[in-house]
């Protein structure tokens, strides 16, 4: 065991297999991929990376497996499966693009798909096959995608995986905000293995005593989305970055295959050398676009969801709005964060009488209706915004008309 000092979890004990994986070039690249993308332009402390987050997720996984083992809850699950799961926690973010999730919003392959190729080939694949199991890369890829039949799947990818607990705690700590203060210890100690009510197969569940900790996670996630992840200036910088990269790809100066190999600064340096633009200079010098107008999702229907996914339609509409406002085509940016869930609807709850019930959209008797509440919180945190290069007076009703006609 090696010890890595961490500002959040203190001492992280890393075994020999994990050390070999950490030392691979693919994992070392994560040192240079910021966890929160461009949020450091708003919160200067948000320069932490996917590297320390991955170590933190590994630490929480090892801790959880140890607690489950103490309770004799891992009966029937061998040591190899536990090793595969802990390594999956370490490697779950291996495929992330520069500046985190932003490029997935312009149509780049999901980072979990990129990770599969890295897991099954090269140095990482070799270590996994020789030090873990011959089929370890494929098993780990399935855990990362959320498609594994392992009873421990829920620890790696699911409605309440350890990744969420780790990033909420770390992001809040590094941003210097109180919003991510979740009862992580209570939540982890409430994780159990139980028989899924539909199949009878063992799955990760939450003991009823952990419901209050689950509520704290929901509120923390909402507050972090509202105040950090979807902060208007963070979304302005993200919209600028997406447009810069998309324009470079459309012009042929950059290919999507290159994106997965770059670090944050490597990509910006490449763009400065091969696709310079006023927009890139503005981003580099933090001259962020301004909010011209905005609407919360609570005031909109699903007819506007295309703004989060149809990149060509978005660019065309931006040009129309720019013409209406007398601006250049790249001086207007639309932003509507990709649809997400504050809390999933597939969490088994072990009641105090031993019965297992699934937390669904109907909620749970005797508890806050978390799914309904999460949907309402999500809609209030998500905003559709029109950004412009400088302050411009706009008619919000006219802007909606243009969006509706797009």
Tens-place pLDDT, residues 106-159? 877 777 788 888 999 999 999 999 999 999 999 999 999 999 999 999 999 987
How, if at all, do strands 347-350 and 202-207 pair? parallel
Is residue 397 predicted with pLDDT exceeding 80?
yes
35: tokens are 């966890």
Which is more confident, 183 or 367? 183
Q: What pLDDT, on a 0 to 100 scale, did the predictor assign at position 345?
A: 58
What's this model's pTM, rounded to 2 decimal places?
A: 0.94
74 φ, ψ (degrees, to nearest 5): -100, 15
Is residue 374 predicted with pLDDT exceeding 80?
no
Which is more confident, 100 or 33? 33
Q: What pLDDT, on a 0 to 100 scale, did the predictor assign at position 379?
A: 84
pLDDT digits (tens, 9 = 90+) for 325-335: 999 999 999 99
Q: What pLDDT, on a 0 to 100 scale, did the predictor assign at position 344?
A: 62
What are the residue ranges spanned by the domains of the chain? 2-221, 232-339+382-405
265: tokens are 């600064």
Q: What pLDDT, on a 0 to 100 scale, did the predictor assign at position 343?
A: 60
Is residue 66 predicted with pLDDT exceeding 80?
yes
Q: What pLDDT, on a 0 to 100 scale, did the predictor assign at position 257?
A: 83
Q: Using alpha carbons, select from 110, 92, 353, 305 the residue that is nearest to residue 208.
A: 353
pLDDT digits (tens, 9 = 90+) for 237-252: 999 999 999 999 999 9
Average pLDDT, the chain: 92
Task: Give the rounded percent of residues in the chain with a pLDDT score beyond 90.
Answer: 75
Q: Which CATH architecture has domain 2-221?
A: Orthogonal Bundle (1.10)
273 contacts: CB under 8 Å, gap ≥ 6: none
Is residue 232 predicted with pLDDT exceeding 80?
yes
249: tokens are 């790809």
Q: What pLDDT, on a 0 to 100 scale, did the predictor assign at position 353?
A: 92
Segment 195-214 mean pLDDT: 90
pLDDT-based confidence at 341, cuts 50/70/90?
low
Q: What pLDDT, on a 0 to 100 scale, did the predictor assign at position 294?
A: 97
Q: What pLDDT, on a 0 to 100 scale, did the predictor assign at position 281?
A: 98
Segment 174-202 mean pLDDT: 90
Q: What pLDDT, on a 0 to 100 scale, did the predictor assign at position 365?
A: 53
Is residue 324 predicted with pLDDT exceeding 70?
yes
106 contacts: CB under 8 Å, gap ≥ 6: 242, 245, 246, 249, 311
Q: Is residue 195 classed exposed, middle or buried when 0-12, 13-18 and 19+ CB atoms within 10 A define those classes? A: middle
């Amino acid at each position: 065991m090696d010890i890595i000092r961490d500002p959040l979890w203190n001492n992280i004990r890393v075994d020999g297999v994990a050390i070999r994986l950490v030392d691979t070039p693919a994992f070392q690249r994560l040192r240079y991929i910021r966890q929160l993308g461009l949020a450091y332009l708003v919160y200067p402390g948000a320069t932490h990376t996917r590297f320390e987050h991955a170590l933190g997720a590994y630490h929480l996984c090892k801790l959880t497996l140890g607690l489950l083992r103490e309770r004799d809850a891992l009966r029937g699950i061998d040591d190899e499966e536990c090793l595969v799961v802990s390594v999956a926690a370490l490697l779950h973010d291996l495929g992330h693009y520069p500046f985190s999730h932003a490029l997935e919003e312009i149509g780049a392959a999901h980072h979990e798909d990129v990770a599969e190729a890295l897991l099954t080939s090269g140095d990482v694949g070799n270590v996994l096959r020789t030090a873990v199991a011959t089929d370890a890369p494929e098993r780990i890829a399935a855990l990362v995608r959320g498609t594994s039949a392992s009873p421990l799947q829920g620890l790696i990818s699911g409605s309440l995986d350890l990744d969420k607990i780790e990033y909420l705690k770390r992001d809040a700590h590094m941003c210097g905000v109180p919003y991510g203060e979740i009862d992580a210890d209570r939540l982890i100690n409430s994780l159990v293995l139980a028989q899924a009510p539909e199949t009878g197969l063992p799955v990760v569940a939450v003991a009823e005593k952990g419901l209050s900790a689950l509520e704290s996670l929901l509120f923390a996630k909402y507050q972090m989305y509202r105040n950090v992840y979807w902060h208007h200036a963070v979304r302005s910088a993200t919209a600028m970055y997406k447009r810069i990269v998309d324009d470079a790809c459309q012009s042929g100066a950059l290919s999507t295959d290159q994106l997965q190999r770059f670090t944050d600064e490597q990509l910006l340096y490449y763009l400065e050398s091969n696709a310079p633009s006023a927009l890139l200079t503005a981003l580099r010098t933090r001259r962020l676009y301004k909010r011209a107008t905005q609407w919360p999702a609570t005031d909109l229907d699903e007819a506007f969801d295309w703004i989060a996914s149809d990149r060509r339609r978005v660019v065309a509409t931006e040009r129309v709005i720019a013409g209406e406002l007398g601006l250049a085509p790249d001086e207007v940016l639309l932003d509507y964060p990709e649809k997400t869930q504050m809390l999933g609807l597939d969490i088994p709850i072990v009641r105090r009488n031993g019965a297992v019930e699934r937390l669904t959209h109907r909620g749970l008797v005797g508890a806050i209706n978390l799914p309904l509440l999460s949907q309402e919180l999500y809609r209030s945190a998500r905003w559709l915004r029109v950004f412009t290069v400088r302050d411009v007076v706009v008619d919000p009703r006219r802007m909606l008309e243009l969006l509706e006609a797009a």
